[in-house]
Amino acid sequence: MNRFGVTLFLGVCSFVGGLIGMLIVRPGMPELWARSDELASALENRFERVARSVSPAVVALEAIKPTLEEGKTRSVDDSGSGSLIRFAGKPGLYVLTNYHVIGAAPPRLITINTADGRILKPTKVLADPESDIALLAIKEEPGFKPLPLGDSDKMRVGHWVLAIGSPFGLNQTVTHGIISARGRGQVSLGSTIRIKDFLQTDAAINPGSSGGPLVNLNGELIGVNTAIASPSKASAGVAFAIPSNLIKEIGLQLLEKGRVVRGYLGAQLAIGLDLNEALKMGLDKAQGALVDAVMPDSPAARAGLRRGDVILTLDDEPVLNDNQFINRISSLPPGRRVQMTIWRDRAKKTIEAIIGDWSGVRR
């Protein structure tokens, strides 16, 4: 037998031997297979129970909203999804959705289609474009079962989630996935969203899913599906949801004040801090917020902040990047005095600033 024949013979023997080994029932294997079947069935049943309990609270939305194109205002039709919710300690029932789904549409031009076929109009719209959150007040009706708001801080990478909405107009579509990452803010969504602290998921999200709930396996809303990262504008397994704890914070301010009060510093920040740039400045890591410009007569200007400074800490807490710094400043009340450690001329320096009110800034 030549060398090729020996090699072929040995290969065939190896394959046959492996196949026989797979067919041999080893001790304990039937029990392991049975246990695997039980676990798969339990997870399947859990998905089904959660989908069944959550779906009645999910609505489809249609809005005729004004938009500005080439200097002219015209009306466009848009659609999305939403969830029936309540806020603890507050009266009333609301549809939670994304601001970009309804835009500046008046209540009379917004249509809410419930899971059981009812057609509603909101009585009032409360919105915060900068976080892309909107609340539509609706009248109480028998049979409405709002979703409980969960604690998004308890969600960890790898936790199972379900997304429910109306992608491509297909109402009550359920997809599943996991939490892929937390605290995503360094993402460009091609929108005016300024407050970004997303949960990332690989649950399939498509046009029309916006505003729908992302729920955990307890049937609690832990996020609002908001955007996808995709060159084709269709699901590529990278989707972003506004976390429920931010929704609670924003929602309560909208209900109590009619608007969201945000802190303002007046420093324009570079998008990210490049490692090579950080090393050239004498920093040992690319962490912090790089100041790109300082607005005249702003809290930042009065504090002595300069272009080229890198903000390292805010009230002794590390600043990780520009997005995290923006979110932290925005969450502070106007009038609050803060201390910042900055990196300037290859040395650390401490400065103080008094937070201003973002609502008074011309935009």
DSSP secondary structure, 308-356, as one string: T-EEEEETTEEP-SHHHHHHHHHTSPTT-EEEEEEEETTEEEEEEEE-E
Q: Is 132 part of the annotated catalytic residue set?
A: yes
Q: Rounded to an integer, what distance in angstroms lies between the CA atom of residue 192 and that of residue 217? A: 32
Looking from the CA of 14 toward its CB, the CA atoms found within 13 Å total 6
> Are 152-257 and 263-360 equal in CATH topology?
no
Domain positions in the chain are 55-138, 152-257, 263-360
- Residue 8: predicted pLDDT: 38
Q: Is 89 helix (H, G, I), strand (E, B) or coil?
A: coil
Q: State residue 196's pLDDT score.
A: 84
**Active-site residue 14, yes or no?**
no
Q: pLDDT digits over 115-125, tens only?
A: 999 999 999 99
DSSP state of 62: E
Percentages (nearest 5) of helix, strand, coil residues in the chain: 30, 35, 40
The per-residue pLDDT for range 310-331, each reduced to its tens digit, is 999 999 999 999 989 999 999 9
Q: Radius of gyration of the chain from Cα atoms?
A: 26
Split at pLDDT 50, 70, 90, the class of 188 is low
Specify the pLDDT at position 296. 94
- CA torsion sign for 116, 119, 122, 128 is positive
Strands 310-314 and 337-344: antiparallel
pLDDT band per the 50, 70, 90 thresholds, residue 295: very high
Q: In CATH, what class is 152-257?
A: mainly beta
Is residue 215 helix, strand or coil?
A: strand
Cβ within 8 Å of residue 188, ≥6 positions away: none
Instruction: Evaluate whether the domain defined by 55-138 bears CATH number 2.40.10.10.
Output: yes
Residue pair 294/306 in contact by the 8 Å Cβ criterion: yes
Among the listed residues 205, 176, 201, 217, the one whose alpha carbon sits nearest the alpha carbon of residue 54: 217
pLDDT beyond 60 at 166: yes
If 0-12 CB within 10 Å is exposed, 13-18 middle and 19+ buried, where does residue 9 land? exposed
How many alpha carbons fall within 13 Å on the CB side of residue 305? 32
Pick the CATH number of 263-360 from 2.60.40.2380, 2.30.42.10, 2.60.40.1180, 3.20.20.70: 2.30.42.10
Percent of the chain with pLDDT over 70: 89
Confidence tier at 21 by pLDDT (50, 70, 90): low
pLDDT cut 90: percent of the chain above it: 74
Q: Is the pLDDT of residue 19 over 70?
A: no
In the residue annotation, 292 being an active-site residue is answered as no
- pTM for this structure? 0.83
| Residue 184 pLDDT > 90 | no
Phi then psi dihedrals of residue 245, to 5 deg: -70, -35
Selecting among 78, 81, 83, 100, the annotated active-site residue is 100
> Are 174 and 163 contacting, i.e. CB atoms less than 8 angstroms apart?
yes
> pLDDT band at residue 36, thresholds of 50, 70 and 90?
confident
Cross-strand bridge partners of residue 240: 200, 227
pLDDT of 247 > 90? The answer is yes
| Predicted local distance difference test score (pLDDT) of residue 20 | 46
Q: Is the pLDDT of residue 9 over 60?
A: no
**From 210, 235, 244, 330, the catalytic residue:** 210
Q: Report the pLDDT value the prediction gives residue 6, as an integer from 0 to 100.
A: 41
Whole-number Å distance between alpha carbons of 67 and 109: 14
The catalytically annotated residue of 78, 132, 202, 309 is 132
Q: Which of 131, 171, 151 has its CA nearest to residue 215? A: 151
pLDDT for the residue numbered 70:
74
The pLDDT value recorded for residue 191 is 63
Residue 229: pLDDT band (50, 70, 90) is confident
